[in-house]
Structure 1
């Protein structure tokens, strides 16, 4: 069955997952068609008519853009037909499903992984430094993201935060049994950087302060963890709502030599065709200079813009990953060390933390400024504007990409 184990019990911590690789996986599978012009009709025939299994698809639901796992948890397969990806639940006594499907050879099965909000690199001094706003020329820009829809797929948002009073915010939770409210803080911090404005003292920390905010909660619990299918559902929702920019400060670790997931490439290419640019964190798995790791998933997908983190000296952050694996590229860099932004008010209204998660919403917010300046630009043209106008930094390009993102 599709149903995942109860999310009331937290998934393994980051450290536990690294010590036990089996904990990376949910036991379910992502099925991606190998050719974009194909559909799932043959697969459905095998599952329904030959094996007698229950298959659900987005077209079965009236409100297609807001379908969550609860609606299809009793099915054996859920098909996201628009993006060409399906979620397959195979119990131990259903192993013949994989065998029956494998002879078709027109799709790829990939284990569904646990996805995390990367552990933030906390600072000992909680200051109000918003150096990133200055370094990227955001404070000099005449654009505010007005009329641009920016989706933040993360741990949710603190909708009671006073800095966002009067803002247009739409939300949806794809985490079973949880509302879109943020109980972690990570999502509120990323939203603040991408779409916020000023704090209670008038200090500016946000980029696209006039943008329309779309909060997709795809990571749950206090630790901020989820699954590939929740992320894909969030992408589908954001694209359906015509969000020009989709910011994802999340991911799973990728090891040297490991390729990217076809499921995310399918989703990202669909998003680009529909007018949405996905921007994702490259990951915090490195410990420079001695241990440097590859770009994480899904940022390692060719059709997703990957983001590295730099410090206030515009040097690559010690934790930022590198484009090591074949076929991967670091696209651009953003301020990711000592970033001050909003937080959940039940704890404290603001927080200063570090990570590629913090660099990503800088890029996403600035992409929103470019979308306002060039309203008829396609996502590929926005991508090109971001990279062509970036401030070149030191080599290697695998660390920095095109350089530091700059506002128009």
Structure 2
């Protein structure tokens, strides 16, 4: 859903990792930033609380990025210092970030009913004829959801065994019978909230990545049932977080060996707006360490009349942007497109309408959004990483994109094509 651009009043600063102290000293002397606390990704406890303290700036060692508190009358000085000090690569206002899901009411399921289609709840502006077209083929979902069939995950011999996938989202239902066994680590970066999912978005995304091959009470809905999940809560119960919370989760994921970071979240951008330098450089640094970052492209379009640009951080060149397709493999009406460049491209498309997965309370639900497409790609990356454990981050990206199935839509809408499991 569209959100007006919202800022926290803090700044996100990217530093040269070889000279972080020099950069921080420059900010202290010129802009009077608050005292700096270092947070290591392997020790996440306390990060959420530090990010809320007005008297503290927080440096994430693994990323070389800091969230700094600065007085309003010193903000111009901070930006000027960043422009002149060579050890400071970027300084950008911290923004709020949102879960990338279409939020019209959904029917929550306690079991699976093969005839159920959440597509029938589409917003009123879409006619019945358009709905009939978007429902697409009559997928037989008795044993496997349409999304798993479309990306051919149900035909793969790979399971993602042992591959660590970080899902940075609204947390997870740690007691869900389908998911409890796949959780390697959990951490909350939201002040005052445990990792338990009070929203439902994170549990759904984790289910798509690593739901079991043979759930007891549902069809197969997970791509990589033997992947190991790092569930990082970076969005609160209302589905909202900050850049600082996202960066804290990214640092934690990288430090704990995640091969994939899946982020079904973002913030709206305007036509012509450039990608954020901090996220781009952090993603590039992660890629060099063997970690691939993927993100939801965003849901602000209203096709066919209006196509919104890919949101941030998916609009970064080093972040894979995932668009959504519906059951007839057409571009979902809400899916953002590549109208900004460079960096605002769509890399590939995945199922994002009527996606069935886990819900809190041991239940299931169907949701739609590029949020639902993104974890399909995360799961496939886990399969690729299992098959090619020595592959670099760039190697994993290349294998993912080269394996996509070409679609007739423009690359601006679906990138390399439809995600396919190896």
Q: TM-score, normalised by structure 1?
A: 0.88
For 1:118-137, list aligned pairs within 5 A.
Answer: 118-120=100-102, 122=104, 127-128=113-114, 129=141, 130-137=145-152
The whole-number CA distance in structure 1 between the counterparts of 2:27 and 2:64 is 17
State the alpha-carbon separation in 1 of the partners of residues 179 and 61 from structure 2.
Answer: 35
Match of 2:395 in 1: 381
Residue of structure 2 aligned with 1:229, choices 244, 265, 269: 244
CA-CA distance at 1:326 after TM superposition = 1.6
Instruction: After TM superposition, give the deviation of residue 164 of structure 1 in Å.
Output: 2.3
Structure 2 residue aligned with 1:220 = 236
Q: Deviations over 1:249-308 (max 9, x none)?
A: 000001100011011011101111111101110000000001110000000000011100
Q: Distance in 2 between matches of 1:62 and 1:404?
A: 34
Partner Cα distance (1:357, 1:247) in 2:
10
Cα distance 1:395–1:167, how it changes in 2: closer, same or farther (>3 A)?
A: closer
Q: What residue in structure 2 maps to residue 29 of structure 1?
A: 11
Distance 1:317 1:96 in 2: 41
Equivalent residue number for residue 131 of structure 2 = none
Determine if contact 1:90/1:97 at 8 Å carries over to the other structure. Answer: no
**1:138-149 correspondence runs (5 A):** 138-149=153-164
The corresponding residue for 1:84 is 64
Residues 1:224 and 1:321: Cα distance change in structure 2 (over 3 Å): same
Q: 1:95 to 1:332 in 2, by over 3 A?
A: closer
Alpha-carbon offset, residue 51 of structure 1 = 6.4
| Counterparts of residues 237-256 of structure 1 (less than 5 Å) | 237-256=252-271
**Offset of 1:385 from its aligned partner?**
0.8
Q: CA deviation at 1:203?
A: 1.2
Q: Secondary structure at the match of 1:350?
A: strand
2:196, 2:44 → 1: CA distance? Answer: 19
Name structure 2 gaps, 5 residues minimum. Answer: 115-140
Deviations 1:289-346 (CA, angstroms, capped at 9, x unpaired): 011100000000000111000011111100000011020221111111100000011x
Number of corresponding residues: 384
**SS of aligned partner of 1:230:** helix
Rate the CA distance shift 1:176–1:166 in 2: closer, same or farther, 3 A: same
Q: CA 1:381/1:52 → structure 2, altered by over 3 Å: closer, same or farther?
A: closer
- Take 2:65 and 2:259, find their aligned partners in 1: how far apart are those partners? 21
Q: Does 1:69 align with 2:48?
A: yes
Which residue of the partner structure matches residue 364 of structure 1? 378
Alignment partner of 2:25: what SS? Answer: helix
Q: CA deviation at 1:45?
A: 2.1
Task: Report Cα offsets for 1:60-96 as digits up to 9, x if no partner.
Answer: x695455513236354432224323221112335457
Structure 1 vs Structure 2 CA RMSD: 2.3
With over 3 angstroms needed to count, the CA separation of the structure-2 counterparts of 1:161 and 1:27, relative to structure 1, is: same
Q: 1:214-238 CA distances to partner (integer Å, 9 max, x unpaired)?
A: 10000002x2100001001101100
Shift, 1:171, TM fit: 0.3
Native 8 Å contact 2:280 2:316 kept in 1: yes
Distance 1:332 1:400 in 2: 5
Q: How does 1:304-383 map to 2 (within 5 A)?
A: 304-327=319-342, 328-345=344-361, 349-383=363-397
User: Are the structure 2 counterparts of residues 95 and 297 from structure 1 closer, same or farther at C-alpha, using a change threshold of 3 Å?
Assistant: closer
Structure 1 residue runs without a partner (length 5+): 1-13
Partner Cα distance (2:75, 2:218) in 1: 59
Residue by residue over 1:359-395, the C-alpha shift from the partner in whole angstroms, topping out at 9 and shown as x without a partner, is 0000100110111111111111111111111100013
- 1:226 is paired with a residue whose SS is strand
Equivalent-residue separation in structure 1 for 2:44 and 2:380 (angstroms): 26
State how far apart, in whole Å, the 2-side matches of 1:233 and 1:399 are.
31
Which secondary structure does the structure 1 equivalent of 2:58 belong to?
Answer: strand
Q: Residue 299 of structure 2 contacts residue 336 of structure 2 at CA under 8 Å; is this kept in 1? A: yes
- Does structure 1 conserve the Cα–Cα contact (< 8 Å) formed by 2:384 and 2:396? yes
Cα distance, 1:44 vs structure 2? 2.3
Q: Give a deviation string over 1:74-124, Cα, whole Å, max 9, x none.
A: 544322243232211123354575277356343432111100002325587
| TM superposition shift of 1:162 | 1.3
The residue aligned with 1:98 is: 78
2:19 is the counterpart of 1:39: yes
Aligned-residue offset at 1:396: 1.0
CA contact (8 A) 1:46 1:100 kept: no
Separation of aligned partners in 2, 1:138 and 1:50 = 54
Relative to structure 1, is the Cα distance of residues 102 and 170 closer, same or farther in structure 2, using a 3 angstrom cutoff?
closer
Secondary structure at 1:387 match in 2: helix
